[in-house]
Structure 1
Amino acid sequence: MGDFNELVRIEEKQGRHHRSERQMQLFRDVLDDCGFMDFGFTGPQFTWTNNRAGDMTWERLDRVVATPEWVSLFPSARVHHLDCRWSDHKPIWIGTEKMVKPARKPFRFEEVWMSDSSCEETIEAAWKKSKPGVPMYSVWEKIHECRRDLRVWSRTNFRNIKQQIRETEDQLKQAEANSMRGHDHAQVIILKEKLQILLAKDERVWKQRSRVEWLREGDQNTRYFHSKATQRHRRNYVYRLKNNSAHVEQVAECITPMVTAEMNRSLIKEFTSAEVFKALKQMAPLKAPGPDGLPPIIYWWHSRLCTICITKRKGRQDTMALKLDMSKAYDRVEWKYLKCVMDRMGFHPKWVSLMMECITTVSYSILVNEGFHSLIQKAKLAGELQGVSISRGGPKITHLFFADDSLLFCKATTQDVTRIQNILNEYEMASGQQINRLKTTIFFSKSTPQANQDSILGMLGVPAIKQYEKYLGLPSFVGRAKYSSFAQIKERVWSKLKGWKEKLISQAGREVLIKAVAQAIPTFAMSCFRLPARLIKEIEVLIRRFWWGQSGDRGKIHWVPWSTLCKPKKSGGLGLRDLGKFNEALLAKQVWRLMHNTSSLFYRVFKSKYFPRCSILEAKPNTRGSLAWKSIAGATSLINKGLIWRVGSGKRIRIWEDSWLPIREHPSIVSPRPPHTSLTHVSNLIEEHSNTWKEGIIKSSFLPNEAEAILGIPLSSMHPKDTAVWSGTKNGIYSVRSGYHVLLSEGSRDCPGSSDISFETQVWNAIWSLKIPAKVRHFLWRACHEALPTRTNLHFRHVIPDPRCANCNEVNETVLHALWQCKQIREIWIAVPWSSSMLQNQYLNFMELFHHCHATLPATELQLFATTTWLIWHQRNRQWLNQQPVPVNQLMIHAQQFLSEFLAAQVSHSSTTGPPAPPIKVVWKPPQPGRYKANFDGAFFEESHEAEALEAYAARSAVQLSKDLGLKEVDIEGDSLTIVNDLCNPEPCYSLYGHLINDTKLLAQDGLSVLFTHVKRDGNILAHSIAKKAKVSKPFEVWMESVPPDLGYILCNDFIYQ
C-alpha cells in the first residue's frame, strides 16, 4: 500500500491531459504479473492534487493491492481515503477488523439441499398443510410454514459442510495409514467417494453465494467461488444508512391515450398456469431470493404442488443541450402521479390496480417519463420550444429520454430557457421528482455568444461544460483520437480478467467466463461504432493471455492460433468471438433497422442527413459524416451478402441478376441464359390469372434442381410487392448471430484446411458431446490439435534441445507417442480388452487414433479412453517435475474411479430437479360454446421444400374454408408452433413464406373472429392423417360432413377422450 504514482483507469484522473494509455497498461501488466487485485476504497475519489488554482488536477495515486491469498486471510479488510488539510496526498487507512457486529443471518434456501431426498419430503409436507383464508393469504402462510420447516430440517439433517469435510479428511488420513499397514483398502475408497461428494456440495454452496452464473462445471473450483463471494460481500456491504429528512391534473391533461382496446384485452386476460410456469422458467434459478428466502429454483422443483393459478384483484443557430440529473429518481415518484399517468395512457382499470398493488407493497417504485414527455411535446406544438435539427429539413429534437437519463435541446434564448424552467417546475410539483442542479449540466453550441451563455447560466443555476464525455456509457463526441474515446472498454475488460485470476479456475471455466463476460463488455459500444482495429487487437491480446495463462511475469506459449480459437466448435475451434467480425455483424443490425423501422426517430434523423433521396443500401459513403454513420454505412456490404428476394408479384425481381432462389449455396440463377429470351423478370414465370408458376416454361428454361426450387416457392393470392428478406434465418429477419456466421464462413473459405472436412467434424462433435469433465474435453481438443507441450513441440519452439521421449529415449515425443505409442504407456493399454487390435494399427496422429476409437468403441469405453489419456498426460507431467508418479498398474484403476465419481456426481446433480412430471395425454378438445374449430396440418409433396411453407398453406386454407362456410367465430388450430406464433404476431412476417401468413391474417380480419391456437401432434391426429392421405388422393377432394372411411376410428377416439 502507498503512493504508486501510477493510474489504472482514465477515470482516476481529473483535469489537464489524460494519462497515456500505454503507461497505464504497463502498470496493469505489473499488477497482473504480481497477482495483485485492487481493494477499492470508500471516501473521496482522488488521493492527490497539485493545489494549483485555475489549473487543478486530481489523481488517485495511492492505493492498496493484495494477492487473493491475503484477501482470503482478511476477508473483512476495508480501505478508506481519509481527509488531510496539510499534504497534497490524502492518507489511506486499511482496517482488518469487522466494522459492525453481524446481525442474525436471514433464512436462505441452499440449492445443495436439493441433493437430499428428505428435503423434498419436508417441502411437500409443509405445502400440503391446510391454511384457511383467501387464496393469496393461504399461499403466503404455506411459504412461511415451508421456510420454518426447512430451517429446522437443515439443522438436523444437513450439518456444516466444512466441518464434515475436515472430519472426512481426518478419517481418510487414518484409513490410508491403516491401508499402508496391510489393512483393508475398501475404507479408503469409500471415504474418497464421500469426500468427493462433500467437495461438490461445498462448491455448489459457494457458487450460489458468489452469484456467478458463467461456470456450468466447476471442477471443484471452490477457491474461485469463495474468492468471488468475498469480493462481492466487500463490494455490497453497507456500513451505515444515512437518512435525509408534491398539480398532477395539469400534467395529465397533456398525456394522450395510446393503449388500444386490443392491448388491454391482452393485458387483463386471466393468468394461466402455463404463463406462470413460463415466467418461473425465465427467472435465473439461483438469483437473489425475496423476503421469504426461497430462490426461483425451489418453485421449478415443486411446480406440481402449485397447480392453482390465483388471480389477484385489487382492485446554425445558437443552441444548447441540458442534461438533467434527478435526485434519487426511483425513490421520489409519487404513486398518485404514477396511477394518473397510467389512467391517462388508457390502461384498463384492472391492470392499473394490479400494477399499483405491485409497487405500493414493496420498497421500490418505477419511473414513468410520459408526463414529462407530454409537457415538452405540448410546448413544441405550441411553438414555445424550437428544438434542434442536425440537417436541413430534418426532424426537430427537443428531448431524449432513457430511464432517468434526460437530455433537453432548445435554442439558446431566454424565452426557451424560461419555458424549460416552467416545464421542470410543473413536472417536479406533479411527480415528486426533483432536479439535482449540482449534477445537471449545460452545453452550448460554438456559435452561442458568451453574453447569452452567462445570462442563461444565471437563470438556470447549473454549470456549463465544454462537451458531454459520455451518454448512456458511450462517448457523445468522437474526434480524430478514436482510440482514446474507447480506451475505457479495454480497461473494463482488463479489470474483469484481473479479478478472476486464471490460477483459481480450470481452462474450461475460463472459456465460459471469456464468452459470457469479457467478450460481452464491448458489445454495447460495438453496436453503434466500429472500434479501432488497434483497440480490438489489444483486447484480444488480453483475452488470449488470460486463456493460456502466464507463469510469473512471462506469458505461456499460445499453442493454437487465435483464428482457430474463434472458429465454431464443430470446426475445431472454441467458439470465441472474432471481435472485428462481431463488430461488423452488430453494426449490420443497425442497417437492418434503417431498412425496416422507418417510423423511428433514428431512421428519420439519419435519412434526412445521409440518404435523403435513396435507401440505406444505395447510400454513398460520406467522408464528413459522423463516426456512427461511417460505421453503420460500412456494414451495408454484409447485409447485401445475405439479402434474398421473396417472390410476391415478381415485377421487381430480375431473373438472371438478383438472388431469389431458396438455395443456400447459390441463391442466384446459375442456369445458362437462353439467347434472345424474353424472360427478364420473375413475373414472366407466373400465370397472371391463376397466380401459379408456369411449370412448362420453368422446366424447359432452368436446370432440374433450380426448376424444382422455383416450383417449390409459395405464391400469394394477394399479389403483394416483392420483398427483400434475410436468407440467414428462418424468419427472414437479420440477426447478429447469422450475420457473424456469414463473415466466419467467408474467412474459412479463404483459409487452407483439411481435404476431409467430414472426418474432422466427426472428431470435434464427438469430443464436445462426451459425458466427461469439461477439462478432459479441453485436453482432448488440444491433443487433437497437437497443441500439448510435448518434447517435439518444445524443441520446435527452441525451448529444449532434445525432442526425444524422456521415458523410452528412442523416438521423438509427439502427442500420439506420449499417450499411446511409448513402451511404458503400452503397458497401460495392453490391460484393456479392446486395445489388442488397435495397438497393431499405425496412426498418423492422435486425432486419427481418437476417430478410430469413436468409430469402434461404445460410449462408456470412449469415456474411459479419454479419461485415461488425460491421466497419462498428468503422469508424464509429474515425472517431468520430479514428483512421485502413480504406479503404471494403478493408472487405469484411477481413471475408472475418477470417471465413476464424475458420472455419479452428474446423476446426483440432475436428481436435484426432482422426478420428471408424468406425461400429460394431449387430446383434441372441442371449442367453447358458440365457436367452431378448424384444425390444419401439411404433408410433404415432391416439389415442396419447406415444412413451414406447407403449414402456412394449410392455415390459409383453413381460414378460407371457414370463410366459405359462413363461420364467424372460429378457432384455427395446428401443431406447428412456428406458424401459430407467426399468425399471432401483429408484426409483418419476413420469412420466405411470410406472404402466406400475411394473406391468412387479412382473411381472418375480413368479418371473422379468429383465434389461432397451438396443440401438440397428439391433439391434431385427424388433420395430420388427412394431410398425409392427400398425397395419394385425387388432386382436390373435400369431405363436408364425413371423414374418409379409413380414418373414422381417429374421429371416434377424439370423441371418446372428451
Structure 2
Amino acid sequence: MKVKINGELTDWIIPQASLRQGDPLSPYLFVLCANVLSNYLIQAQTSNSIKGIKIARNAPTINHLMYADDILIFFRANRNTCHSVSTLLNKFGEMAGLSMNHQKSEIKFSPNISQQGAQILTGIFNCKKVDHLGRYLGGFIDGHDTAKRNASLILDNIQQRLAGWKAKMLSQAARTTLIKAVVSVIPLFHMQHTWLSHSQADKCDAAIRKFFWGHWEDSKTPIMISWGKLCRRSEEGGMGFKRMMEVNEALLAKQVWRILTLEDSLVSKVFMGKYRSSFQNYQLMPKPNSSPLWKKLCRASRVVTDHIGWRVGNGEKIKLNDAKWIRPDYQNHSFEKLCDLMHPGVVSRTRVADKWVWLLTKNGDFSVKHAYKAITNTPPDQRSGCNWIKLWKLPLPQRILHFWWKTVNNGLPLRWNLARKGFQIPTVCPNGCDALETEEHILKDCQYARRVWFASRINLKLDELPAMSMIDWINQVMNSQNMGKPSHQGQLILLLISLCWSIYTHRNLLLFQQGKADIMECLQRAYHVVDAINGLESIQSQDYFFKLPAPTRVRGIGSDTIEHNLNPTQFTCAWTHDCRLRRKVISILHLQGPQPRKICSLVVDHDQHTQLAMLRTIRLFSGAIRHGTEGSINIHSPDEQIVHQLRSTTKASIRFQTIINDILIFVLTKTFVSIFSSVKTTVVWKGVLLPGL
C-alpha cells in the first residue's frame, strides 16, 4: 500500500502483521476486501455462473447488494448455482479470512420452489431458512405490508423516545429543544422510503403536540396555540416544528431527484430502466401496474419537476422545444438542439455536459429543507407586528423568549384566555383588580405592574406611553433596533422583555404558591437575567478566543506545504472601468519587479457582473497556460467571494458553476499548482490605482 502525506505518495509499504478491529486502517482494508468479493460476484454474473435478478428488460441485473459487513446475494434456486455461490464464498474466506457466519446467515426462497427443493438447497449453505428477512437497519425490507409496518415503527419509536424522558421535569423551552433536535430526526431514515398515510402522520404529530403542551396520563395542559401556528417557521412566528406528512413528501422527493439526476447510480438505473416511460414532459405519471413505492415517489415528485432548470454546458442535451427551456421566437428553422446555435467553447471551454439543476437553491442542488418550505408555503403572519428573526436572536434565555412568543400570540394560560377555551373559572385579575386578566392587563394596566414599571431602572410611567398596547410598543422598540451593534436600545429591549417575564412569573407565584406582592423581588429577578447577559458580553469582548475566525474547509487545490516549498509565481486579477466607452477591463497581472506586467485582459460591457467577468478572465488565463509548466502559481483575487467559491467544498452559485468547473479542470489537469487567495493591498498599474487589491 501507499500513503499520501502532504499531497505526495510514499513508497510501497508491505504490512508485516494483520490488523485488528479498531485500527485506523481497518475500515479501509475491509472496504478493499469487500470490493474483491464484489468483483468476484460481478465476474460470476458475466460468466452466467451466478445469475442475478432483473426487474425489467432495460434494468441492470443485480446479483448482490452490500452494506458495511452485510451482503445480500440474489441467485437462481438450483443446485449448480448454489454450489457456485458456496464455492465463491469459501474461496473468498480463505483469501481474506472473512468467512460466512452460518448462525447469522439466512436464506429465503420464492414461493415457486417446493419444500423439498428448498431443504436440499438450504443444506448446501448450512444456514436457516426464513419466510421474511425481518428488520434491517431498523426497518422491514420485505413483505407485502412493509410500508404499513415501517409506519408503525416510526410511531412506536417516537412514542418510546418521548416516554423515556422525564418530561414533567422539563420546561416547555427544553421540550422544544428535544423535539427539534431528537424527536424530529428519529423517523427521517425510514421516511425516505416509506409513505405515511394521513392518519399515520397525524398520530405522529399528535404525539409530539401532546409532549410539547405537557399532556401526561394524570393531567392535561390546555392547548393555547394551534398546531398550525407551531409548525410555522421560527422567522414566521412559529416554533419551527415539522409536519410529518410534508417532511415525508420532501424526503421522498429527494429520492426522485437522485433517480432523475444521478444516472450512473444503481437506484437510477433500476427505476429508470423500468419506469422511464412514466417520465413525460417533466411529469412522473405512474401506470396502474406500477409498484407501490414508485406510485408514492410519483406523488412526491411535483416539488422536484416543477422547479427543474438547465445549467448550460456544451448544449448537446438541451432541445430547443424543451419545456424547461426558453421558447424560440422564430419557429421555422432546422435547428434541434441548443448546441446548433452555440459557438464551441463560449459557455464552457471544457465542453462539460448540460446538467439539470434545482432552481429553489442557489447552487442548484436539491435540498430537503427548501423542498419542505415549498410544500408548506405558509404566508407569514403579519398581524402580530413582531420581527421574529430579531426576537429569536436576542441573547435572552429560551424560557423568556418562549414567554414572549406566547404573549404575542395570546397563548399565555391567563384566566380570560382559559375561559375562551371553555374552562369554567373566574376571569378577573388575581391581584385584586376588577378587570379581565389578559396579557395587556397584567403587563400594563394592573396596579402591581404599574408600580413595577415605575420602580424599575427606566422609571417608566405607563400613562406617558404612546396610544398603543404594551406588547405593540415593545415590539416596535425591538423592530427599530440594530441587531448588529450593541446599543442602549438593545439593552432596553432586554430589560423590557425580562420585566414582563418577571411580572408574569410573580403572578404565578402569587396564584399557585401564595407568594407576596413584593416589587423588589420582581425587579431583582429581571435584573439578574439582564446583568448576567451584560457580564457575559463583557467577558467575550475582552477574551481573544471569541475573536478568532471560525475554521473553514477548502478544496484540495495544492497545500500550504507545497506553496511554501515551491515559492509560487504571483499573479493578481484586477479591473478598471472606462466610463467613456462604458466598458470594464479585467486583467491578469504578473507581480514581478517594481511594475506589474499585464498577461491577459478581457473587455466586457459595463453592466456585466464583476464577479462573472473576473471568473471568465481567470478561466482564460488558466486555460492558456501550457502543460508541463514548472513551479506553482498563486492567483490573487480582490473579491473574497470569488476566492471562497473557488476553494470551498460547497458548490458555487448556478450562474458561476460552469466557469468554475472549467477553472478547476484546467488546474487539476496541468502539472502546476494554482492557489487562489485574496489580498488587501493596493497595486498601481500604469499609473492607474486598482481598487480592492
Normalising by the smaller structure, the TM-score range is 0.7 to 0.9
Secondary structure of the 2:436 match is coil
Give the direction of change, closer, same or farther, for the CA distance of 1:552–1:459 in structure 2 (3 Å limit).
closer
In the TM superposition, what are the counterparts of 1:511-590 in structure 2 within 5 Å?
Answer: 511-550=176-215, 553-590=218-255
In the alignment, is the contact (CA less than 8 A) between 1:529 and 1:627 conserved in 2?
A: no
* 1:732 lines up with 2:368 in the alignment: no
Q: Percent identity?
A: 22
- Whichever residue aligns with residue 791 of structure 1, its letter is R
In the TM superposition, what are the counterparts of 1:984-1023 in structure 2 within 5 Å?
Answer: 991-1004=654-667, 1008-1018=670-680, 1021-1022=681-682
Secondary structure of the 1:535 match is helix
Structure 2's unaligned 5+ residue stretches are: 482-487, 552-559, 578-583, 585-604
* 1:935 lines up with 2:569 in the alignment: no
Shift of 1:973: 2.8
Structure 1 counterpart of 2:392, from 755, 765, 768: 768
Deviations 1:639-672 (A, max 9, x none): 1222223345779879999566xxxxxxx89xxx
Structure 1 counterpart of 2:621, from 955, 958, 964: 958
Structure 2 counterpart of 1:754, from 377, 382, 389: 382
* 1:884 lines up with 2:527 in the alignment: no
Match of residue 475 from structure 2: 850
In the alignment, is the contact (CA less than 8 A) between 1:643 and 1:727 conserved in 2?
A: yes
Give the direction of change, closer, same or farther, for the CA distance of 1:995–1:1049 in structure 2 (3 Å limit).
closer
- Mapped to 1, the partners of 2:258 and 2:539 lie a distance apart of 47
- Whichever residue aligns with residue 627 of structure 1, its letter is P
Deviations 1:712-756 (A, max 9, x none): xxx446776654311222221112122222223x2x14xx84379
Shift of 1:523: 0.5
Match of residue 5 from structure 2: 269
In the alignment, is the contact (CA less than 8 A) between 1:972 and 1:1010 conserved in 2?
A: no
Match of residue 841 from structure 1: 466
Match of residue 12 from structure 2: 349
In the alignment, is the contact (CA less than 8 A) between 2:568 and 2:631 conserved in 1?
A: yes
Match of residue 686 from structure 2: 1044
- Mapped to 2, the partners of 1:785 and 1:919 lie a distance apart of 37
Structure 1's unaligned 5+ residue stretches are: 1-258, 272-310, 316-347, 661-667, 693-714, 1027-1042, 1052-1058
In the alignment, is the contact (CA less than 8 A) between 2:134 and 2:142 conserved in 1?
A: yes
How many residues matched?
A: 648
- Whichever residue aligns with residue 862 of structure 1, its letter is I
* 1:592 lines up with 2:224 in the alignment: no
- Whichever residue aligns with residue 142 of structure 2, its letter is F
Give the direction of change, closer, same or farther, for the CA distance of 1:739–1:385 in structure 2 (3 Å limit).
same
Shift of 1:984: 6.9
Q: What is the aligned-residue RMSD (CA, Å)?
A: 4.4
Shift of 1:468: 1.7
TM-score w.r.t. structure 2 length?
A: 0.80
In the alignment, is the contact (CA less than 8 A) between 2:20 and 2:26 conserved in 1?
A: no
* Greater per-residue helix proportion: 1
Give the direction of change, closer, same or farther, for the CA distance of 1:889–1:642 in structure 2 (3 Å limit).
same
Match of residue 465 from structure 1: 130
- Whichever residue aligns with residue 895 of structure 1, its letter is A
Shift of 1:778: 1.0
- Mapped to 1, the partners of 2:159 and 2:408 lie a distance apart of 31
Shift of 1:980: 5.5
Deviations 1:187-241 (A, max 9, x none): xxxxxxxxxxxxxxxxxxxxxxxxxxxxxxxxxxxxxxxxxxxxxxxxxxxxxxx
- Mapped to 2, the partners of 1:934 and 1:485 lie a distance apart of 59
- Whichever residue aligns with residue 953 of structure 1, its letter is R
In the alignment, is the contact (CA less than 8 A) between 2:335 and 2:341 conserved in 1?
A: no
Give the direction of change, closer, same or farther, for the CA distance of 1:897–1:927 in structure 2 (3 Å limit).
closer
Give the direction of change, closer, same or farther, for the CA distance of 1:355–1:1014 in structure 2 (3 Å limit).
farther
Match of residue 971 from structure 1: 633
Give the direction of change, closer, same or farther, for the CA distance of 1:486–1:841 in structure 2 (3 Å limit).
same
- Mapped to 2, the partners of 1:545 and 1:353 lie a distance apart of 60
Match of residue 492 from structure 2: 861
Shift of 1:870: 0.9
Match of residue 601 from structure 2: none
In the TM superposition, what are the counterparts of 1:381-530 in structure 2 within 5 Å?
Answer: 381-477=46-142, 479=144, 482-530=147-195
- Mapped to 1, the partners of 2:447 and 2:648 lie a distance apart of 66
- Whichever residue aligns with residue 572 of structure 2, its letter is N
Shift of 1:444: 0.5
In the alignment, is the contact (CA less than 8 A) between 1:655 and 1:679 conserved in 2?
A: no
- Mapped to 2, the partners of 1:1048 and 1:990 lie a distance apart of 26
In the TM superposition, what are the counterparts of 1:136-147 in structure 2 within 5 Å?
Answer: none
Match of residue 828 from structure 1: 452
- Mapped to 1, the partners of 2:475 and 2:674 lie a distance apart of 51
- Mapped to 2, the partners of 1:684 and 1:360 lie a distance apart of 53
In the TM superposition, what are the counterparts of 1:583-732 in structure 2 within 5 Å?
Answer: 583-611=248-276, 617-648=282-313, 715-716=347-348, 722-732=354-364
Shift of 1:910: 10
Structure 2 counterpart of 1:894, from 515, 525, 533: 525
Shift of 1:544: 0.9
- Mapped to 1, the partners of 2:672 and 2:37 lie a distance apart of 39
Deviations 1:928-947 (A, max 9, x none): 65853433367998976867
Shift of 1:519: 0.7
In the alignment, is the contact (CA less than 8 A) between 2:570 and 2:636 conserved in 1?
A: no
- Whichever residue aligns with residue 754 of structure 1, its letter is Q
- Whichever residue aligns with residue 493 of structure 1, its letter is I
Shift of 1:351: 11
Give the direction of change, closer, same or farther, for the CA distance of 1:790–1:980 in structure 2 (3 Å limit).
same
Give the direction of change, closer, same or farther, for the CA distance of 1:769–1:838 in structure 2 (3 Å limit).
farther
- Mapped to 1, the partners of 2:151 and 2:5 lie a distance apart of 47
Give the direction of change, closer, same or farther, for the CA distance of 1:737–1:717 in structure 2 (3 Å limit).
same
- Mapped to 2, the partners of 1:954 and 1:355 lie a distance apart of 53
Secondary structure of the 1:447 match is coil
Match of residue 76 from structure 1: none
Shift of 1:560: 1.8
- Mapped to 2, the partners of 1:573 and 1:782 lie a distance apart of 10
In the alignment, is the contact (CA less than 8 A) between 2:251 and 2:368 conserved in 1?
A: yes
- Mapped to 2, the partners of 1:359 and 1:502 lie a distance apart of 37
Secondary structure of the 1:599 match is coil
Shift of 1:469: 2.5
Structure 2 counterpart of 1:778, from 402, 405, 416: 402
In the alignment, is the contact (CA less than 8 A) between 1:726 and 1:734 conserved in 2?
A: yes
- Mapped to 2, the partners of 1:988 and 1:1049 lie a distance apart of 28
- Mapped to 2, the partners of 1:1050 and 1:570 lie a distance apart of 35
